Structures are given as C-alpha cells and as structure tokens.
Amino acid sequence: MIDPRVLRDDPDRVKAAQAKRGLSGDAVDRALAADTARRTAIADFERLRAEQKQLGKQIPQAQGEERAELLARTKTLSADVRAAETAQTEADEEWRQALLAIPNPAAEEAPAGGEDDYAVISEHGTKRDFEAEGFTPRDHVELGKILGAIDIERGAKVSGSRFYYLTGAGADLEFALVNMALDQARGAGFTTMVPPTLVRPRAMEGTGFLGQAADDVYRIEGQDTYLVGTSEVPLAAYHSDEILDAETLPRRYVAFSPCFRKEAGSHGKDTRGIFRVHWFDKVEMFTYTTLEDAAEEHLRLLGWEKEWLDKLELAYRVIDVAAGDLGLSAARKYDCEAWIPTQGRYRELTSTSDCTDFQTRRLGIRGRFEGGDVKPVATLNGTLTAIPRTIVALLETHQQADGSVRVPAALQPYLQGRELLEPVLG
C-alpha cells in the first residue's frame, strides 16, 4: 500500500510513478476522491458521536422530566450516529480498496517500460562453447533421464502436466542444494525457517498476490486459504500487526518451502522439462529493515545470490527489471539469469525485490525507533535457489560428452563427495 500521506500531498509524483509502469493515473484520482469522501464521513460521524457521548454522561445524574427529555434527544441522535457510522465504514472501505489497487511506485533508478526494457547490469562466468568442445549438448530432460535424476513421465501420470519426480541423483541434488544454500545463509547471519505454505487471505493480500497476480494462485476449495507461490508470503506475514524494535533490524530470515503456481497465462511457454512447473521447492531470503537501509540491503541480497551462482560455476547476468515488469509490490527488482546452453539464452534463476514499505503498510508491520517513534519499515526478498531451475542450469552447464555431469567443487561436500553424476541403466 502506498503512503496515504504521499498520495494526498503529492499525487503528481504518484501519477508519474504509475506512468513509468505504463499505467494511467485513474487509480490515483479514484483514491484521491475516496480520501476526500472518507474524511468528510469521518468528520460527520465523530461530531455526532461526541455529542452522543456528552449527552450519555448526563443521563445517569438527571432525574424526572429532565431525564426523560435527555433520553428522547439521545434516542434520535442514536439513529443519526448509526447512519453516520455506516457511511464512514463504507467510505473507509472504498478508500482502502482504491489504495490497495495502486502498485508500489517504482524506484527512480528502475528502467522505465515493460518486460523487454530491462537494463543489463553485469555478466559473470563463461558460457561453455560446446561446438569448440566437439559435441552437441543434451537438454536437461535428456540428461535427467540418463542420470535417473528426473522422471517427468511419471510426474505427469500421477499429477498432470508440469509435475515431475526427482529421483536418485536428482533428489540427492535437491537436498545438497538446499543444505548448501542454508549453510551459506546461516553463515551470513540469517535465521532459518520452515514456514507454513497454506495461508489466509490476509497474508496473500498483504504481500500483493491477490491483485492481478490472483490468477496464478491456488485456492483451497471451500476454504478461505491459499497455497503460497513463494515463502515470501508467510515470511512477510510472520510479523504482521507487530511493532519491531528498530534495534533488532535488519532481521534476516531464510526459508525452505514448497511453492505452488498455477502458471495461468503461460500456456505453451516452457512446456518441456522442469523449467516452469506447478510445484517446486525453494530456499528464499527475506529481510525486514529500515527504509533508509533498504536499497543497500537490496544490493546485499543480490550479492548473496551472485555468491551462490558463482559457487555453482554458472554463467549468468544480472538485469535491472523495468518498472512495468515489477509486479505490484516491488519498487525495484534485480534478476539473475543463468545461461541455458540448449536454449541459447539467459533465463531467470533468482530474483530479488525491494518492496520498501508497500507490504509492511498492508500487513501492519512497523518499527519502534529512537525516541519511541513508530515508523514504517521495509521488506525485501531474494531467491537463493529455486530447485528445478537450478538443476536445469547445473545439468546443462556441467554436462560432458558421455552424458555425465561434473559436480562443482563447492557442491561436492553436500553430495557425499561425488565429483561426477554418472549415467545409470534403465
């Protein structure tokens, strides 16, 4: 939720930020009008209510005729108060909805435009030249089959399209990646978490996933609960309605959790393999910090993502995502995209967002600062590893001509010391 005060005092700035995302200022105008209506309604109600309370105080002391008269007056007033309160509640709700519809204003530094208007910040590692090495790379589906690591056919048989089993070396790889990621995060001072992945609407709405993104979310039939698409949701909602002692900031959490996505609207996209699936496990970093520190923390999260990809010896680039592609909550977002040899392009492996005070305002999370001041705080999130995509990149990048896959040195201790994943029979 954007700051109502900024909206009221500087609506043009909010409109400019909307324009950067390619959106009109209509939502801003609607919120502004709702704000005016709301304040009028509040004034009406409070005036009547104050009068009612005044009269109410006199009643117990009054006697006889005076008392009867007071009762008569306050009785009619009671109806007015009730009507005014209803009007106030409605105006308030309308205002809230209008505010909720406005995305987080993009950061000044974020590139303007849509999906294709990202800016490349940096490139890392070296793409493998299979032509020079003299063999044609296999894609992860084929490698997964050879290694007995990924079973897509049975995944589809049991659960449908975009499902899979990780088997043998594939399953081992998941646990190795998870443990390695948790070790890295723990070493950086993160608190490890295993959060619930079934949440109430509040958590979903608070993190901005019930707006345009609602189509992508699994809702439990007959229940007011949702399966989360990322542990960002339970991690952000973890401190909802709390006032955090500023001394404890930044608070860094790292969670392991399954993630569920309907992938509505991505029909025909990435249909082969496990690059885009309805369920996957992920290790996610999440930070609560001050608004002042948020941009720097964002770079720290990016740093940890890069450290991770470096250790896996992947070739990747970092992009600064354009305003129109930020989603509802983020003011700025960096994606790390790894080179996928058989696709011949960079694909998103990790992503880190600075959500400033957008989520905390919605979730009622604030900080108590020096002098007792209660002020908004910021949330940020970043992927350490999303298992299937990491496996895709690893297998394809480190494959050898015979179908075996080299294990990066940093990962070996987590894979029982294995230096190589080798083809298995049948």
Partner RNA sequence: GGAGGUGUCGCCUAGUCCGGUCUAUGGCGCCCGCCUGCUAAGCGGGUUUGGGGCUACAACCCCAUCGAGGGUUCAAAUCCCUCCACCUCCGCCA
For position 245 contacting RNA by CB under 7 A, the verdict is: no
State yes or no: is 329 an active-site residue. Answer: no
With b for 16 or more beta-carbon neighbours within 10 A and e for fewer, the 326-342 pattern comes to bbbbbbbbbbbbbbbbb
Q: How far is the CB of 194 from RNA (least distance, A)?
A: 14
Task: From 75-83, 130-138, 251-259, 286-294, give the range in contact with RNA by CB under 7 A.
Answer: 75-83
Please count the other Cβ atoms lying within 10 Å of the Cβ belonging to residue 223: 9
Q: How far apart are CA 91 and CA 108, in angstroms?
A: 32
Residue 351 annotated to the active site: yes
Tokens 């993009």 map to which residue?
106
Number of residues lying near RNA (CB under 7 A)? 27
Catalytic annotation, pick one of 38, 261, 362, 366: 261
| Closer of 76 and 126 to RNA (Cβ) | 76
Nearer to RNA, 10 or 133 (CB): 10
Closest contact distance (angstroms) between CB of 20 and RNA is 25
CB of 72 to RNA, least distance (A): 8
Q: By C-beta, is 54 or 212 nearer to RNA?
A: 54
Question: Of 64, 268, 372, 426, which lies in the binding site for RNA, with binding defined by CB under 7 A?
Answer: 372
Stretch that binds RNA, among 70-78, 167-175, 291-299, 395-403 (CB under 7 A): 70-78
User: Is residue 74 part of the contact set for RNA (CB under 7 A)?
Assistant: yes
Binding segment for RNA among 67-75, 229-237, 335-343, 414-422 (CB under 7 A)? 67-75
Positions 2 through 21 that interact with RNA (CB under 7 A): 4-5
Indicate which single residue of 119, 158, 374, 409 sits in contact with RNA (rule: CB under 7 A). Answer: 374
Count Cα atoms within 13 angstroms, Cβ side, for 412.
11
Structure tokens at 64: 């006889």
276 catalytically annotated: yes
| Residue 219 lies near RNA (rule: CB under 7 A) | no
Q: Which of 68, 71, 171, 424 binds RNA (CB under 7 A)?
A: 71
Q: Which of 13, 29, 33, 59 binds RNA (CB under 7 A)?
A: 59
Is 97 an interacting residue with respect to RNA (CB under 7 A)? Answer: no
Rounded distance between C-alpha atoms, residue 366 and residue 296, angstroms: 19
Alpha-carbon 14 to chain mean position: 22
Q: Check residue 366 for interaction with RNA (CB under 7 A).
A: yes
Residues in a beta bridge with 366:
243, 376
Phi, psi of 198 (to 5 degrees): -110, 120
**Which of 18, 45, 353, 393 touches RNA (CB under 7 A)?**
45
The yes or no reply on residue 49 touching RNA (CB under 7 A) is yes
246 is an interface residue for RNA by CB under 7 A: no
- 257-286: contacts with RNA (CB under 7 A): none
* 154 belongs to the catalytic site: no
261 a catalytic residue: yes
Tell me how far, at minimum, the Cβ of 257 lies from RNA, in Å.
17
Q: Is 243 in the site for RNA (CB under 7 A)?
A: yes
Q: Give yes or no for a contact between 262 and 278, defined as CB atoms under 8 angstroms apart.
A: yes
Q: Omega into 195 within 30° of 0, i.e. cis?
A: no
Q: Please say which residue, 69 or 183, places its beta carbon nearer to RNA.
A: 69
Q: What amino acid positions are annotated as catalytic residues?
A: 261, 276, 348, 351, 389
The footprint of RNA (CB under 7 A) covers 4-5, 39, 42-43, 45-46, 49-50, 52-53, 55-56, 59-60, 71, 74-75, 77-78, 81, 89, 243, 366, 368, 372, 374
